[in-house]
Homo-oligomer: A and B are copies of this chain.
Amino acid sequence: MAELEQEDLRKRLSQGSAADVRHAIREGRWTGRTHGLAHGHVHANLAILPENMALDFMRFCQRNPSPCPVLDVTDTGDPEFRQVAPGSDVRRDLSGYCVYREGVLVDEPSDITDIWQDDLVAFAMGCSLSFDAVLQENSLRVAHLEKPGGRIAVYTSGIECVPAGPFQGPMVVSLRPIPNDQVVRVAATTARYPAIHGAPVHIGDPAEIGIHDTQAVDWGAPPEIGPDDTPMFWGCGVTPQAVAMAAKLPLMITHKTGHMLMTDLLVKDL
C-alpha cells in the first residue's frame, strides 16, 4: 500500500515544480532519489563548506568550469539558494546528504539542520542528469539510461584540474558511448549548456586521458561500448567532491548520490 502511494507520489512529483519536490522532501513525504522528478528542471550537485575555504573553492570552480559549473552560492550562514531555489532550505530540502570530516565520510543523514553552522557556504552546481535530459529531448542516444539502474560510467582521469589553495587533483569524468553518426551533434548540443558541464573534455581513445580499462569504473556502472560507438567524456560533478575530500577539510557536506538539489531553473532556459 505504501509502495503504491509512493509510486503515485512519484508520478505527481515528476510533473510537479521543483518547489513541490523540495516541500515533499522537507515534509518527509519523499525520501527517495530525485531522478525523473520535476520534469524539465535543473537538478544540482551540492557542496557545503566553511567560509574560510569558500573563496578557494570558488576559485577552483572558476578555474575548472567543466566539472564545476557553479549555478548559485549562498550567503555565509544562509541556508537558502535565493537565485536558483527561492524559498529553499538547503538543510532539509535534499533527501540525502553525505557528511565528511577531515575527508572521511562520517554520516549520511536526511537532514543537516542539527549540524548546520553559521559559517557555512553552500554551492549548487550543474549536474549531468539535466544533461542527459537535453540529449534525450534532442533525440540523441543516452545508453546508460537504457539499462536497469541507469548508472553512468565515471572515472578518475589523468587530466589535472587547475589547483586553487588546498583544492587540487585529477578531473573526474563521465563516459557516454555515442553512436559515431551522433558524435558531432552531441558535441555541438552539449557545448550549448556550459551550466551543466558543457562541451566534452575528450572524444575518442580513453587512454589519451589516462583511462586504460573502461570496464574498471571508479563510480557508477561499466559502459557497453559498441563497435559503432565513440567514447565521449565530460567533466563530472564528482570532481569537486573528490578534490574537497582529498583536501581533508574539517567539514564538508554534499548531496548523497542521486539525491539532488532541485532548482527552479529550467533546462531549456540555460
Contact = CB atoms under 8 A, between A and B. Distances in A.
A165 B55 contact: no
A contact face: mostly helix, strand, loop, or mixed? mixed
A117 interface: no
Q: Which of A55, A70, A83, A164 has the most CB of B within 10 A?
A: A55
A59 B73 contact: yes
Contacts of A62: 58, 70, 72-73
Interface residues of A, number: 18
A63 interface: yes
A246 interface: no
Given A54-B55, A55-B121, A58-B59, 17 more contacts: A51-B55, A55-B55, A55-B58, A55-B76, A58-B58, A58-B62, A58-B73, A59-B73, A59-B75, A62-B70, A62-B72, A62-B73, A63-B83, A75-B164, A75-B165, A82-B162, A83-B162
Interface of A: 51, 54-55, 58-59, 62-63, 70, 72-73, 75-76, 82-83, 121, 162, 164-165
